[in-house]
Amino acid sequence: MARTRQKPPDYPPEIRRGIAYADAVATGRAPAGKWAVLAAQRFKRDREAAERGESRWILDPEYAIRPIRFAGQMQNIKGPEAGQTLDLLDFQLWLLINLYGFVERMTGLRRFRQASIWLPKGNAKSTLVAVLALYSTFLEGEGSAEGYAAAVSRDQARIVFDLAQAMTRANTTFRERVGLQIREHSIVQHRTQSRLMPISSDAKTLDGLNVYIAILDELASHRSKGVYGALITAMGKRAQPLLISISTTTDNTTGVGKQVWDYSLKVLEGLVDERFLAIHLRRGRS
């Protein structure tokens, strides 16, 4: 449905928290590195333009809040908080608002097609993206959605996928309401013919994919463009596909991870790519 204007924002409290965090980073009231500040400033500009009705995009609170509240229903699987439901930190709220809240004013389709996210160790990145893989594959209403937990190696690809499996097993209400079957190498929703699977560079073939959502783990360790390139190519048939590349930093100075890193810095420095989201948080949880 076309949306010609946005009403004055009436954001839920979780969204207000995420916005307040971004505003604090953007204005220097919260400590953060250079790239986090630039990302927050971009978000602030985009949000304010959307709220004034001066942008191609709107920030839709309904689209933003759904993955946030879904995350709050899922359980931590590892660590001292295992068995407890997720309690998203402020920067994670901001990330989800960015990813899911911005939609095209005239079509309602999601703005971002790619996200390059770089986090320090200890920020539960695998847990968060496992939640997003489940949400987008099974709860966004995409027919025959194909979701992938992708990495260079099979073992690395299984990290996010195994977390998604464990979360699905632990949440009987979600599993039964959505109608999911957990298999060894996939999670399947028969009524929509949707599935979430792990995939790696040593798969027999990367051809024939039709990606709706893909999580590309530890992008910094990718030397060749194989998996990344295959996923990008396989996104072409969807109206609002999403590739989330997430990583900690390494000393890789030649691979596709470095290429995406460099491109994301250019976006933060002012290169206009309205479909590419770059988030670099490199100092603690700033």
Give domain status of residue 226, yes or no.
yes
Chain-wide mean pLDDT for the chain?
90
Answer yes or no: is pLDDT of 24 > 60: yes
pLDDT score at 284: 37
- Residue 202 is predicted with a pLDDT of 65
CA–CA separation, 238 and 118 (whole Å)? 26
> Is residue 4 domain-resident?
no
Tell me the range of 5-9, 111-115, 203-207 where mean pLDDT is highest. 111-115
State the CATH number of the domain containing residue 21: 3.40.50.300
Which pLDDT belongs to residue 282? 61
Q: What is the pLDDT of residue 205?
A: 65
The CA distance from 162 to 160, in Å, is 6
User: What is the extent of the structural domain holding 137?
Assistant: 13-280
Q: Could you give the percent of the chain with pLDDT greater than 90?
A: 74
Whether 179 has a pLDDT exceeding 90, the answer reads yes
C-alpha–C-alpha distance, residues 135 and 100, integer Å: 11
- Check whether 3 has a pLDDT greater than 90: no
pLDDT at 208: 84
CA-CA distance, 186 to 197, in Å (whole number)?
Answer: 5
Residue 225's contacts (CB-CB under 8 Å, 6 or more residues apart) are 256, 259
Give residue 82's pLDDT: 87
CA distances from 168 to 149, 151, 209 (A): 15, 21, 24
Q: Is 80 exceeded by the pLDDT of residue 252?
A: no
| pLDDT reported for residue 255 | 82
Whether 8 maps to a domain, the answer reads no
Alpha carbons 128 and 113: distance in angstroms, whole number = 18
- Report the number of distinct structural domains present in the chain: 1
The predicted-structure confidence for 193-232, as pLDDT tens digits, reads as follows 999 999 987 655 677 899 999 999 988 877 777 889 999 9
- Asked whether residue 271 is domain-assigned, the answer is yes
Residue 2 confidence (pLDDT): 46
Q: How many residues would you count in the chain? A: 286
Six-digit token string for 62: 């309904």
5 lies in some domain:
no
pLDDT for 115 equals 97
- CA proximity to 75, closest of 149, 15, 131, 158: 131
Give the whole-angstrom CA distance, residue 258 versus residue 254: 6
Enter the tokens of residue 218: 């530890």
Report the C-alpha gap between 222 and 218 in whole angstroms: 7
Determine which of 77-81, 124-128, 162-166, 277-281 has the lowest per-residue pLDDT on average: 77-81
Distance in angstroms (rounded) separating the CA atoms of residues 212 and 246: 17
Q: How high is the pLDDT of residue 204?
A: 58
- Whether residue 7 lies inside any domain: the answer is no
Which is nearest to 278 in space by CA: 270, 286, 267, 269?
Answer: 267
pLDDT tens for residues 53-69?
Answer: 999 999 999 999 999 99
Q: Please give the Cα distance from 88 to 234 (Å, whole number).
A: 31
Predicted TM-score of the model (pTM): 0.92
Give the pLDDT of residue 206.
76
